[in-house]
Structure 1
Amino acid sequence: MRKKYSGIIFDFNGTLFFDTDKQTESWSVMAEKLRGCPVSDHEMATFIMGRPNKVTIEYLLGRPVSDEEGDRLVQEKEIIYRELCRRDACHVRLAPGAVELLDYVTDHHIACTIATGSEISNVNFYFEMFQLEKWFSFDKVVYDDGLLPGKPHPEIYIKSAENLGLTPEQCIVFEDADAGIEAARRANIGKIIAIGPQQVHGRLRELAGVQLVISTFTEFDREGLLAAG
C-alpha cells in the first residue's frame, strides 16, 4: 500500500526556527520608528506572523506604500533581525527535535521543502546559518519573491506541493501562524500540524483544519510517516 502522506512542507519562522522573540523585537524597532510605539503580542499573532513583510509595513504606517518604499523599509527591518540573530548566535538553533526529524525524513527519502514568508536575503541567511542544504533543495523552497500572494492565500502551499511533485492532499504541513494554517487549509493540505508553546495550544486547536498540535518536533511520531493509508 502507498503511504498516506508522501511529502512534508515546513513553515520556517516560528516552526523550524523559534525566532518569535527576534521577530517581535525587530518589528518593534520598526514600529517605534514608523508609528511611535512597539508591536503588541496580539498584533504579532493577528496581523504580522505569517504575513508578507510589505503588508506589515503598510499595517504599521496605516497606508499603502510603493514597492520602492516597501522594499527599503523591509530591508531595514531584516538587517535589524539578522543582527539580533548574529548577536545571539550561541543560542540560535533549529527547534527541538527538528534535526532528528529532518535526518529521519532524509534517510527515508520522504520529500520535503520549506514554505516561508521570508524574503530571499533571509532564506540565504538561514541556509548558511543552519546548513539547510543537508535536508532541503534550495530551488524547491518557496519564499516571498514579491510576486507570490502572502499567507493566508493558499498559493504558497499549492506551489510547494507542486515543487515536490505531489498534490496538496499528499502533504503534511507544519505551521505556527494563524495565517499560515489558514493558507494550508485553503490549499487542501492533507494534514495540518500546528506548533506552538503550551499556552496557545487551546487556541490553535480551535483553528479550522488543524489536526494535531505539538510544542516541539520531539512530540511528533515520525515513524507514522511510513504508515500506509
Structure 2
Amino acid sequence: MTSAPIPVLSPTDARERLLSLKAVLFDLDGVLTPTADVHMSAWARLFSPYLASRGIAEPYTDADYFAYIDGKPRYDGVRSFLASRSISLPEGTPDDPPQLDTVCGLGNRKNSAFTESLEADGVAPYPGSLRFLDAVVDAGLLVAVVSSSRNADPVLRAAGIRDRFDVVVDGLVAAEMGLAGKPSPATYAYGAHLLGLLPEQCVVVEDAHSGVQAGRDGKFGLVLGVDRGAGVAELLESGADIVVDDLDVLLPLSSHSSSTPTPGEPE
C-alpha cells in the first residue's frame, strides 16, 4: 500500500497564507545566515578525530549532522550523535573545559572551533533571505529570531542585522527560561508570546528537521522549509507546508513590497 501524498502549498498559496498572519519567526543558522556551514565544519572538526581516537570505524559525515545535530541545542546534538555510535559519556556541566570528555566538554570544544571560524571569516546574510526579511517588514508583519544556538547575538551582529530584531530567543534565553529545545515548540511559542501573539498567528521559517517539527507540533500558522541540505522530501515529511531553496522564491509578497521578483519568477 502506498502512503498518501503529503499536501504541499504552492508559492502563491504560501504567500497568501503568510500575508494573512501577523509575524514571521526565523531560525538563524541556515535560514538568515550561512553559519550552518560554519557549524557543520566545527562539528566535523570535533567528531572526526574523536571517533578515530576511540577506534570507531564508522566515520562522522554530513549525513550525521542533518540526522542528529542540525537545529538542536548544542549539548542535545552531542548527546544525540554519541547515542548513534553507542557512546555514553558523563553529562558534565556547561562550564566544563573543552578538553574534558563529557557531553558538555565536547559541546564546548565544538563551540570553540565555531567561534574561531566566525572571528576569522565573519558572516554575511543570505541575499535572498535579506530581501525576504525586507519584504516581510514592508508588508507590516512583525519579525523575531528563534535559534537553538547560544551564539545568535554575535552571529546577528557579525551579519549586520541584529538591529532588525527586537525579539531574539536563543539557546541562552531558553536555558534561562527553562525552555525545551527544538524539536519541542517551546522556544517558538515563547517567541510568539514575546510578540504578543499566538502560535497560529505566526510563520516559522526553518531549514532543520527539528525546527520544522517544532513548527508543526506547535500548530503554527505556516511552516516554511528552506532546503540547505536537509532535503525537500525530508522537510516535508517533518511537517513543512512548502519547501524552497531560497526565500526570495516567495517574492514579491504584495504590491506594496519594495522587493523585486527573482528573475524568471512570476509577478
Q: TM-score when scaled to structure 2?
A: 0.73
After TM superposition, list the pairs within 5 Å mapping 1:178-193 onto structure 2: 178-193=209-224
Give 1:73's aligned residue.
106
Q: Choose from 17, 26, 35 the match for 2:33.
A: 17
The answer to whether the 8 Å contact 2:66/2:230 transfers is no
Instruction: Select the residue among 179, 182, 194 that pairs with 1:151.
Output: 182
Equivalent residue, structure 1, for 2:23: 7
Cα distance in 2 for residues equivalent to 1:56 and 1:198: 17
Aligned to 1:127: 156
Measure, in 2, the Cα distance between the counterparts of 1:100 and 1:157.
Answer: 23
Does residue 30 of the first structure (1) align with residue 61 of the second (2)? no
Unaligned segments of structure 2, at least 5 residues: 1-18, 97-102, 257-267
Q: 1:149 to 1:199 in 2, by over 3 A?
A: closer
Number of residue-to-residue matches in the alignment: 217
Shift of 1:78: 1.6
1:88 shift after superposition: 2.9
**Deviation at residue 158 of structure 1 after TM alignment:** 0.9
Alpha-carbon displacement from aligned partner over 1:127-172 (angstroms, at most 9, x marks no partner): 32122233101xx211113332111111011111111111111111
Q: Looking at both structures, which has the greater relative contact order when contacts are Cα pairs under 8 Å and sequence separation is at least 6?
A: 1
Q: Percent identity?
A: 25
Structure 1: gaps of 5 or more residues: none
1:200 is aligned, of 215, 231, 236, to: 231
Greater fraction strand: 1
Q: Check conservation: 1:118, 1:144, Cα contact below 8 A.
A: yes
> Would you tell me which structure has more helix in proportion to its own residues?
1
Partner SS, residue 117 of structure 1: coil
Q: Which has the larger radius of gyration?
A: 2
Contact 2:25–2:191 (8 Å) recurs in 1: yes
Residue of structure 2 in register with 1:82 after alignment? 115
Q: Relative to structure 1, is the Cα distance of residues 219 and 153 closer, same or farther in structure 2, using a 3 angstrom cutoff?
A: same
Counterpart in the other structure of 2:165: 136
Residue 41 (structure 1) aligns with: 62
The reply on whether 1:168 has 2:189 as its aligned counterpart is no
- Compared CA separation, residues 203 and 217, structure 1 to 2 (3 A): same
2:66/2:208 contact within 8 Å kept = yes
Instruction: Note if contact 1:195-1:215 (Cα within 8 Å) is conserved in structure 2.
Output: yes
> Contact 2:69 / 2:78 at 8 angstroms: preserved in 1?
no
Cα offset, 1:74, TM superposition = 2.7
Q: Secondary structure at the match of 2:76?
A: helix
The SS at the match of 1:114 is strand
**Aligned-residue offset at 1:45:** 0.8
Evaluate the alpha carbon distance shift between residue 27 and residue 197 of structure 1 in structure 2; reply closer, same or farther with a 3 A threshold.
Answer: closer
Separation in 2 of the partners of 1:4 and 1:215? Answer: 23
**C-alpha distance in 2 between matches for 1:148 and 1:225:** 39
What TM-score results when the alignment is normalised by the length of structure 1?
A: 0.84
Paired residue secondary structure (2:72): coil
